[in-house]
Chain A
Amino acid sequence: MTAATSAPAVPTYRQPTRRWAEAGLFLGAFLVGAAAYIQVDLAILGHLASDTVPVLSAVAALLLVAHLGVRILARYSDVILVPAVATLNILGLAMIHRLDLAEIQRAQRNGGEVPSPDVYSQLTWTALGVVLCVTVLVVVRDHRTLQRYTYTAMFVGLVLLLLPLAPFIGAKVNGAILWVRFAGLSFQPSELAKILLTIFFAGYLTVTRNSLALVRTKVMGLEFPRGRDLGPLLVAWFVSLAVLVFERDLGTSLLFFGLFVSLLYIATQRRSWLVLGAVLFISGAVLAYLAFGHVRLRVDVWLHPFADEADTSYQIAQSLYGFASGGMFGSGLGQGFPQLVPYAKSDFIIAAFGEELGLIGLMAMLVLYGVVVERGLRTAVACRDVFGTLLAAGLSISLGLQVFVVVGGVSRLVPLTGLTTPFLAQGGSSLVANWIAVGLLIRISDTARRPDQSGVGLEDAPTQVVAR
């Protein structure tokens, strides 16, 4: 296609890309994050830490990379998504820096060895995440090409999910086997598996959704799918149970199953899948409660968080104290005691924010997550192909579910499970995987909002594209 052939006599409507609006949001993200970071320094040290300026410069550089990457490679994509997750990411860096300072001060008081700050590795992972996000935009020029890899994604995803069980490289951390240690690096493969399995679900359901949706048998007034169509659902259920039983990873298991049921519902628009999914979920949960001590313990601790404060419910009790002490307005960054909560940098980072930013600050952060999920779902709705819709919806829903499970867990809305808080919590695998997910969402969003350029990529598209 050349400019000559595509230039009709009527002026072309030029779709606004609003990249400058995004640049402004990036600036806002940086200012919010940098203010938090500096506030931490001033509250704890009374002056800027020696590494604050380099760290914030690196953050600014990364934001520039992200912005330019999106601007060049996905110019029609959503303008809110990346700045929103960047804000969360920088706030996470600020809180990890804040807890680093607390650890350093404690070591200095006790005369112990001063620990090296975790914020550096988190920053490195952030950089890798941003780079991979841009790389996704470079490599995946059209998200529909991913559909070709439906079964590859399934295979790799399942392998990754079950990898921690492999001898020698699997590692048990805090009772859950969800880490892989290899060559001195540890990695939590379930985070990456989540994305690959979302790709698989989307690809698989794109192909099979009609038979899943249309061929029904009626049981007790509700239409149900045929027995053999139930296969994939049962497989997903069993894999979830396997993750729960063998890896003791309640959170991943729950997330994985919830994601699959949601996508089934979207693909088929049949509420019976939700009913079936709920039945399977409840029966699975009851079975797990009856069969496994670690699940029972989680539930007991959830119901009675102050009953065994010295031992089993120590974490959740400390977390609740953090939230309660923060109250409405919080103690202010650097002025509370979030270091009293175990794993404050990772699993319980939300409790640290609750304590220091208070209900107001935490609400703002949760609404920010809400915005990210909403933009993702909006992308799913706007997408013109089934695969893209399912993939975008899957990525957004898994993010939303994960936030719900982890925030609900640390604030005692639901039993505590072992999931990380996306973009905030310390942990490279999670951060990198979530940035990759954002890259995919941006790619889908770009495709969805791009002005129709006839011919481009259509030959690759499955025929179901029109059947919405």
Chain B
Amino acid sequence: MIRSVRRLAVVLSLLLVAMLANLTYLQYFSAAEVRAKPGNSRVLLEEYSRQRGPILLGSTAIASSIPTADQLKFLRQYTSGPLYAPATGFYSVVYGATGIERTENSVLSGSDDRFFVDRVQQLFANRGVKGGAVRLTLDPAAQKAAYDGLAGRTGAVVAIDPRTGAILAMVSSPSFDPNLLSSHDPATIRKTYDAYSADPAQPLLNRPIAMTLPPGSTFKLVTAAAALESGRYTATTIVPGPASLPLPTSTKVLNNWSGAACGPGGKTTFENALAISCNTAFASIGLDLGADALLAQAEKFGFNDSFDIPLRAATSRFPTDLDRPQTAMAAIGQFDVTATALQMAMVGAGIGNNGQVMSPYLVAQTLSPELEVLKNAEPTSYSQAMSPANAATLLGMMVTVVEQGTGSNGRIPGYTVGGKTGTAQTAPGQPPHAWFVGVAPANRPGGASVAVAVVLQNGGGATEISGNKLAAPIAKTVMEAVLKP
């Protein structure tokens, strides 16, 4: 009997070993994977049990957490929620976090490894563990100007400091209120989210970085840059500008917007072609340069690449393998060329910064819970899209656009402003998109202090659509807000 009791004891110890092994697997090896499953509300509860750090503009918090009496101990609040929503995103118990709330979560929630020492100190001091802060690059005045300018219309604005790549304004219209999505009442959150999702105006779409549209004539800046970089064009080069251009190897004909030739005898200067946005001239230049040159130039400005600012920006497209008629259309920002407002602002910024494109960024600083600086943003060069000399030439041509050409509404008294309008064709029967890309001041050797891109989707609902009429005035107020603090 003793022997069989011993044998059963061995069996029972094997069962114990099996339990311990299983628990080791569950609590150690697979723990991270199981913990991260969406059904686990602990991660969220832990996050909510810490005071989440604020999102700052200067020393003003645009998002902060205030203590509450319910199970989720802190409520996220956004001042001017819809204004900053494209940058902040929301912080929801139901839908998770978006925007900076998501990308900078480790800092804001206090789970970042750099806070380890803080956490230990807080533990011993029996203070609640707090999250760190994130300071954004946004300029409140520029943001406000852009938001007010778009009011009631569908569109996006991005403003960049050309010298650093810091994003000064990032506005989407219509926007949403992150306060409603960050409440502690799941029913309200779901209802609001469903309403936003069902809205045909797509308030949750982060237009400045996520909406890609044909850039139309603003893309002529890229074509012009390619032309100057080829060394075969200067501002005064005479280029063809007939009333209509038969597209090679095709029966199609490209017409000028006005229906007239761009100059006497169907010829004009390169500078004037940009000033009056001559389609036939730029199509001819595009054909002359070839698809590969256009592609290379577009990619130097950031096309066909994605950016994490740290929010992931949609990839702007310049298609490859273009035939001749497609090349002509692509040269004037049509065919399959698409761009975000961020991308077109980068084009303006590159030209305004002596040809150097800086990588765009939204986070100026991350700070500890005690607001000590953990990390300052380091501006990095994305590419030298064109030589400083050619950039200066092109910037001068952009000034002509504003002062003498199609971009007259971009003028700011007392400042030299460069710009380019765009009125991009869309699907037949759809109203075109109104664009404006502006750079100011355009006469400073160290580089311009602001580049802005404005787009009104399908004209933002206006009946008579042109970039100069609709988009340029908004760009002007945004640039003014940056220039005149």
A125 on the B face (CB < 8 A): no
Interface size on A, residues (CB 8 A): 50
Cβ 8 A contact of A400, one of B12, B34, B35: B12
- State how many residues of chain B have any CB contact under 8 Å with chain A: 39
A residues less than 8 Å from B16 (CB atoms) = 366-367, 369-370, 400, 404
8 Å CB interface, B10-41 against A: 12-13, 15-16, 18-20, 22-24, 26-28, 30-35, 37, 39-41
Decide: A381 and B41 in contact? CB cutoff 8 A: no
List of A residues within 8 angstroms of B39 by Cβ: 306, 309, 317, 321
Separation in Å of the A290 CB from the closest CB of chain B?
26
Q: Per a CB cutoff under 8 Å, which of B1, B4, B20 touches A363? A: B20
- Interface residues of A, dominant DSSP: helix
Q: B residues within 8 A CB of A309? A: 39
Q: Which among B3, B6, B9, B20 has the greatest number of chain A C-beta atoms within 10 A? A: B9
Query: Cβ of A190 < 8 Å from any Cβ of B?
Result: no
CA distance A373 to B30 in the complex (A): 29
Structural contact, A269 and B3, CB atoms closer than 8 A: yes
Q: Which of B5, B7, B18, B20 contacts A389 (CB 8 A)?
A: B5
A411 CB-CB contact with B under 8 Å: yes
Closest B residue by C-beta to A102: B71
B45 at the interface (CB under 8 A from A): yes
Whether A340 contacts B42 by the Cβ 8 Å rule is yes
Whether the pair B40, A324 counts as a contact (CB closer than 8 A) is yes
A266-B8, A269-B3, A326-B27 given; A321·B35 CB < 8 A: yes
Residues of chain A within 8 A (CB-CB) of B3 are 269
Contact between chains at A370 and B13 (CB < 8 Å)? yes
A324→B30 contact, CB < 8 A? yes
Q: Among A324, A337, A374, point to the contact of B34 (Cβ < 8 A).
A: A324
Assess the A408–B28 pair: CB atoms within 8 A: no
Per-position 1/0 for B117-148, Cβ under 8 A of A: 00000000000000000000000000000000
- Partner among B1, B12, B33, B35 whose Cβ is within 8 Å of the Cβ of A468: B1
- Which one of B1, B20, B34 lies within 8 Å of A320 (CB-CB)? B34
Q: Would A324 and B31 be within 8 Å (CB), given that A266-B5, A340-B42 are in contact?
A: yes
Contact between chains at B27 and A408 (CB < 8 Å): no
Q: Does A265 contact B (CB under 8 A)?
A: yes
B70 within 8 A of A: yes
B218: shortest Cβ distance to chain A, in Å?
A: 49
* Residue in B23, B42, B70 whose CB lies within 8 Å of A359: B23
Please, which residue of chain A has its CB at the minimum distance from the CB of B40?
Answer: A321
B12 touches A373 (CB 8 A): yes
CA distance A148 to B339 in the complex (A): 92
Determine if B19 and A411 form an interchain contact, defined as CB atoms under 8 angstroms apart.
yes
| A407 in contact (CB, < 8 A) | yes
| Residues of B with C-beta under 8 A to A265 | 4, 7-8
The yes or no answer to B2 lying at the interface (CB within 8 A) is: yes
Residues of A within 8 A of B41 (CB): 321, 337, 340
Q: Are A412 and B22 in contact (CB under 8 A)?
A: yes
Q: Does B198 sit at the interface, judged by CB under 8 A?
A: no
Which residues of B lie under 8 Å from residue A413 when comparing CB positions?
A: 18-19, 22
What 1/0 flags go to A367-397 for Cβ under 8 Å of B? Answer: 1011001100100110000100100010001
A208 to B354, CA, bound (A): 102
B20: chain A residues at CB < 8 Å are: 363, 366
B9 near A374: Cβ-Cβ < 8 Å: yes
Which A residues are CB-close (under 8 A) to B31? 323-325, 327-328
Which A residues lie within 8 Å of B30 (CB)? 324
Is B1 touching A269 in the complex (CB atoms < 8 A)?
A: yes
Report the nearest A residue to B32, measured CB to CB: A324
CB distance from A397 to the nearest CB of B (A): 6
Contact indicator per residue, chain A 239-271, by CB within 8 Å of chain B (1) or not (0)? 000000000000000000000001001110100
CA distance A306 to B34 in the complex (A): 10
- Contact between B8 and A337, CB atoms less than 8 A apart: no
How far is B43's CA from A359's CA once the two chains are assembled, in angstroms?
Answer: 19
In the complex, what residues of A have CB within 8 A of residue B23's CB?
323, 354, 359, 362-363, 366, 407, 411
**CB pair B45 A407 closer than 8 Å:** no
**Cβ of A228 under 8 Å from chain B:** no
Q: Which of A340, A359, A403 has the most CB of B within 10 A?
A: A359
CB-nearest residue of chain A relative to B18?
A: A413
Whether the Cβ atoms of B71 and A109 lie closer than 8 Å is: yes
Interface of B is mostly: helix
Q: For the complex, is A226 an interface residue (Cβ under 8 Å from B)?
A: no
The answer, yes or no, to whether B187 is at the interface (CB within 8 Å) is no
A358 in contact with B1 (CB, 8 Å)? no
Q: Are A393 and B27 in contact (CB under 8 A)?
A: no
A317 CB contacts on chain B under 8 angstroms: 39
Q: Give the distance in Å from the alpha carbon of A337 to the alpha carbon of B69 in the complex.
A: 17
Is there contact, CB below 8 Å, between A109 and B69?
yes
Number of A-B contacts (CB under 8 A): 132
* Min distance, Cβ B68 to any Cβ of chain A, angstroms: 9
Contacts A340-B42, A380-B5 given: A354-B22 contact, CB under 8 Å? no
Interface residues of A in 259-299 (CB under 8 A from B): 262, 265-267, 269
Query: In the bound complex, what is the Cα–Cα distance between A253 and B483 (angstroms)?
Result: 82
Bound CA span A327–B33, Å: 11
Residue of B with least CB distance to A399: B12
Contact among B5, B40, B71 with A381 in the assembled complex (CB-CB below 8 Å): B5
Please report the C-alpha to C-alpha distance between residue A389 and residue B3 in the assembled complex, in whole angstroms: 12
The answer to the question of A450 belonging to the interface, with a C-beta cut-off of 8 Å to chain B, is: no
Kindly supply a per-residue 1/0 record for chain A positions 333-348, scoring 1 wherever the CB is within 8 Å of any chain B CB and 0 otherwise: 0001100100000000
Q: Which residues of A contact B43 (CB under 8 A)?
A: 325
Contact present for B42 and A336 (CB under 8 Å): yes
Partner of B26, one of A324, A340, A363, A389: A324
For the complex, what is the distance from the CA of A384 to the CA of B30, rounded to whole Å?
Answer: 48
- Shortest Cβ distance from residue A349 to the other chain B in the assembled complex, whole angstroms: 15
| CA gap between A321 and B130 in the complex, in Å | 24
Residues of A within 8 A of B71 (CB): 106, 109
Residues of A within 8 A of B9 (CB): 373-374, 377
Choice from B15, B22, B32 contacting A411 with Cβ under 8 Å: B22
Whether B2 contacts A468 by the Cβ 8 Å rule is: yes
**Bound state CA distance, A320 and B8, in angstroms?**
30
Roughly how many angstroms separate A467 CA and B34 CA in the complex, as a whole number?
54
Using known A-B contacts A366-B19, A377-B8, determine if residue A324 contacts B70 with beta carbons closer than 8 Å: no
Q: How far is the CA of A399 from the CA of B7 in the complex (A)?
A: 17
Chain A residues, CB < 8 A from B15: 400-401, 404, 408
Q: Which residues of chain A are near B2, meaning CB under 8 Å?
A: 381, 468
A263 to chain B, nearest CB (A): 9
With a CB–CB cut-off of 8 A, which chain B residues contact A403? 19
Of A324, A337, A370, A413, most B-chain CB atoms within 10 Å: A324
**Do A404 and B19 have beta carbons less than 8 Å apart?**
yes
Q: How far is the CA of A363 from the CA of B7 in the complex (A)?
A: 23
Residue of A nearest to B70 (CB): A109
With A317-B39, A323-B23 given, is the CB distance from A397 to B12 under 8 Å?
A: yes
Pair B37/A381 contact, Cβ less than 8 Å: no
Given contacts A309-B39, A380-B5, contact A412 B26 (CB under 8 A): yes
> What are the interface flags for B38-72 relative to A under an 8 Å C-beta threshold, 1 for contact and 0 otherwise?
01111101100000000000000000000001110
Q: A389, B1: Cβ atoms under 8 Å? A: yes
CB distance from A437 to the nearest CB of B (A): 16
- Beyond the given A321-B39, A397-B12, A404-B12, please list 12 additional residue pairs across the A-B interface where CB-CB is below 8 A: A106-B71, A109-B69, A109-B71, A324-B27, A324-B31, A324-B34, A325-B31, A325-B40, A325-B42, A326-B27, A404-B15, A408-B22
Question: Which A residues are closer than 8 A to B by beta carbons?
Answer: 106, 109, 262, 265-267, 269, 306, 309, 317, 320-328, 336-337, 340, 354, 358-359, 362-363, 366-367, 369-370, 373-374, 377, 380-381, 386, 389, 393, 397, 400-401, 403-404, 407-408, 411-413, 468
Chain A to chain B contacts (Cβ below 8 Å), 15 pairs: A265-B4, A266-B5, A323-B27, A324-B31, A340-B42, A373-B9, A377-B8, A381-B2, A389-B1, A400-B12, A404-B16, A404-B19, A407-B23, A412-B26, A413-B19
Which residues of B come within 8 Å of A, CB atoms? 1-9, 12-13, 15-16, 18-20, 22-24, 26-28, 30-35, 37, 39-43, 45-46, 69-71
